[in-house]
Amino acid sequence: MTDSPRVAVVGFGHQGEAQALNLRDAGWQVTVGAREGGASGARARALGFAPVPPAEALSGAAWAAMLVADEALPALWPALSRALSSGATIVFAHGFNLLYGALEFPGADVVLVSPTGPGRVLRQSFERGAQLPAYVAAHRDASGHALESAERYARAIGCGPLWRTTVREETEVDLFGEQAVLCGGMNALVTAAFETLVAAGYAPEIAYLECVHQLKYLADLMHERGIKGMREGISGTALYGDLTVGERVIGDPSRAAMRAALEEIRSGAFARGWMAEAAAGRPMLDSRQRAAAAHPIEAARKRALGEAGAPMAGA
């Protein structure tokens, strides 16, 4: 292998931007593949890349990072796969399409390199000289060295320690984490807490500050010290409430809902539902997102933080 590998980064979203920048800074020759006339291509040019159509980017590249959105890749894959160079190592950041997308691959290594954080965090860590843990797996090992290639790529984008796993484990655990905690569970929990306080007559701004705004500080403490360390950093009153009430809020019904969600992921029901929704143009998803954006919690946030133009309570 050369000291300066040529890599095509297809897709310039959150992960694509961060990985392209990190690879370039690590000395790799990076070609960005982006749709002509799109916002991502303009952003890539502003960052010093010379984006080209995705299929053109893949021509001659020894590495191909497929960082297109999960729902968009299957339709693009036939054209992309035909453009791949013989023997190119194909890199995915998430196993969704490897597990559910029914993609066909040429005779090449196909690997998973999944950073445990969004693209902006990966980039910030790289710029600080720090690393972000990542999962690595070999989906297809044509060369006999696919896992080693995955680890080489992971180190180049600034990841470590590296945890060897399988595509199925990464995909199922990632989907479950997003649904039960990181997105679905967290958003539902803070919204329900806000609604409970407001329904009881408390000011929406105070409810927002207490149940949403302060979450970051406790999450940062947990991130730095773990659950044990976070508990050591809070007051005795907060600790008593934590250990006596938390298990009532997240009790047997919540655990049963988590088990049901995990089973839907493992059976493929979640993937089928999401792919059908995406194919239909996301009508349910967009409707629910619009409704959530109009929730009183959003106006309370603006007032609580003193954002310009936010109406005062009671106005």
* DSSP per residue, 5-66: -EEEEE--SHHHHHHHHHHHHTT-EEEEE--TTSHHHHHHHHTT---B-HHHHHTT-SEEEE
Q: How many residues does the chain have?
A: 315
Among 305, 289, 299, 292, CA closest to 213: 305
pLDDT less than 50: residues of the chain: 1-2, 314-315
Q: Tell me if 88 sits within 8 A of 142, measured CB to CB.
A: no
| The pLDDT value given to residue 1 | 43
> What pLDDT score was predicted for residue 97?
96
Mention every residue, 6+ apart, whose C-beta is less than 8 A from residue 98: 92, 110, 112, 139, 167, 171
> How far is C-alpha 93 from the chain's CA centre?
9
How many CA atoms, within 13 angstroms, populate the side-chain half-sphere of residue 222? 7
> Which pLDDT does position 290 carry in this prediction?
97
Residue 50: closest CA among 82, 80, 9: 9
pLDDT for position 99: 95
- In angstroms, the Cα distances linking 87 to 62, 66, 103, 190, 219 are 7, 15, 17, 48, 43
Give the containing element (helix H, strand E) for 137: strand 132-140
CB 261 within 8 A of CB 173: no
Dist CA 206 CA 214 (whole Å): 11
Angstrom distance (rounded) from CA 139 to CA 315: 58
* Domains, the chain, with CATH or none: 6-165 (3.40.50.720), 174-304 (no CATH)
Positive or negative CA dihedral for 177, 178, 183, 185?
negative
The answer to whether the CB of 191 falls within 8 A of the CB of 212 is no
What residues are labeled active site? Answer: 94
Q: Are 93 and 113 in contact (CB under 8 A)?
A: yes
CA distance 47 to 9: 14
Per-residue pLDDT at 35 = 87
